[in-house]
Structure 1
């Protein structure tokens, strides 16, 4: 049940982890290096709960005063994401990507050795696990999560859940070197995608990494599955959010980049089968 703050996903480059069939779920800790959890730092917690609950079909666990009011979003009764107040009142609302680790302290050592910065040292969150907040050498923020009773996302690859995480960075080659040193990632370039690569451990694609694009924020992005990209865009605009990148069709589905009413970036993807 971590908490911190960050970003977006890339047009034509969101690749859902699952296509069709029954809803994929997981109740055990994710392998090291997997984007295993996402959470949102809110400036207005009740309003953010109302907005995202309606937008993505989420219910919520009970408020946890001992953890600052942090709550888990539930999709069909399973953990999909987290939401809590901003840790730094001066920060902007944003989504954060957390990577699984079985040894948070050792991963922090690798982050520092590779030139990154540990912003929040390993911190136990009750029996649920241990969280870390860090930045890569280019200043892009991400988290670590060492699972305890809270193992991360329990539903994924479906509408209302996480389908992809990637980063837009100023120097992709340097970023690939950093994340390979920290998580032992290997990379595969996506043909025709201007140098964008997927990253993997044990030959299992986990996310993507590429250069920046005009008008699209840098940093780690969260891409949610939706039943209808166009309907989701309309709902965000009606609630006071904005469209950063208009819906467009890609080989993976219909994709859009949005900002919520508080300026946080999110991306959405409708799979081709849902079109």
Structure 2
């Protein structure tokens, strides 16, 4: 049985100009250790378990960014659905040795993501714990097209949340009331949609952001202390894009590493941690 539900996020990696600098930054920030992967690729481990990878960029035109991969049990069929739904195929499915097969694609708004069909490597061996992946969301200006795309391609079940009220809302009512755009959470097909089953989300890029900001995925890593992680990122040469702030699901900060790759950190609410 696969470790990941079809369409669930299963892996993240960062494409960086300087791999060794990336290992130093994330090794100190998250306590990761590294082992050699395929080619210019370093697997990141937390407590001896795979959590991510860093890769040396092979083309300077590629963005310095974190990439997210979604699990599929039939990568060829998923790529076909992406084309049918108005997405773009950047890299056709290719084998990564015995580890699995991958493809790079983009949604109708231009946000890039990966697909992963597992072979010997399923993906994360640890998540939702400090030093590991815990969430991802697509930021887009093409809300309606993008929502339809992911729900058609992956069969996601949607739950709309108002960032102001923390309550489930109807997106049209929220917009009519002039409130902030609804935040949409997606749960895998076959599950009861809601925060407890959600695996990723969608946020809207409003006019408050620069016009040149492209659609993109933002991935989150769990930390024990959000304020401390933000301070350490700066000490290590990174930057704070959004200072720590509180949300219903924890304390969040958006950061950049010392090479410009953007990511977020999330400190779960005290009640959540205390219940574990």
* TM-score range normalised by the length of the shorter chain: 0.7 to 0.9
- Report the Cα offset of residue 173 of structure 1: 1.5
1:131 lines up with 2:102 in the alignment = yes
Distance in structure 2 (CA, Å) of the matches to 1:41 and 1:58: 17
Q: Within 5 A, what are the aligned runs for 1:70-149?
A: 70-149=41-120
Distance in structure 2 (CA, Å) of the matches to 1:149 and 1:103: 15
- Report the Cα offset of residue 199 of structure 1: 0.5
Q: Within 5 A, what are the aligned runs for 1:141-180?
A: 141-180=112-151
1:191 lines up with 2:157 in the alignment = no
Consecutive unaligned residues of structure 2, counting only runs of 5 or more, are: 165-180, 192-196
User: Which of residues 221, 229, 232 is equivalent to 1:232?
Assistant: 229
Change (3 A) 1:174 1:153: same
Question: Normalising by structure 1, what TM-score?
Answer: 0.85
Tell me, what secondary structure is at the counterpart of 1:73? strand
List, as ranges, runs of 4+ consecutive aligned residues in structure 1 with deviation greater than 4 Å: none
Consecutive unaligned residues of structure 1, counting only runs of 5 or more, are: 1-26
User: Which of residues 33, 45, 63 is equivalent to 1:59?
Assistant: 33
Task: Give the aligned length.
Answer: 246
Question: Normalising by structure 2, what TM-score?
Answer: 0.85
Tell me, what secondary structure is at the counterpart of 2:199? strand
- Superposed CA deviations along residues 172-195 of structure 1, whole A, max 9, x for unmatched, are 111110011111111110134531
User: Which of residues 251, 268, 272 is equivalent to 2:265?
Assistant: 268
User: Which of residues 253, 258, 261 is equivalent to 1:256?
Assistant: 253
- Report the Cα offset of residue 88 of structure 1: 2.6
Map of 1:48 onto structure 2: 22
- Superposed CA deviations along residues 98-137 of structure 1, whole A, max 9, x for unmatched, are 0000011000000101111111111100000001000111
Q: Choose 1 or 2 for highest CA Rg.
A: 2
Map of 1:5 onto structure 2: none
Given that residues 55 and 235 in structure 1 are in contact (C-alpha distance below 8 angstroms), is that contact kept between their aligned partners in structure 2? yes
Given that residues 43 and 92 in structure 1 are in contact (C-alpha distance below 8 angstroms), is that contact kept between their aligned partners in structure 2? no
Map of 1:22 onto structure 2: none
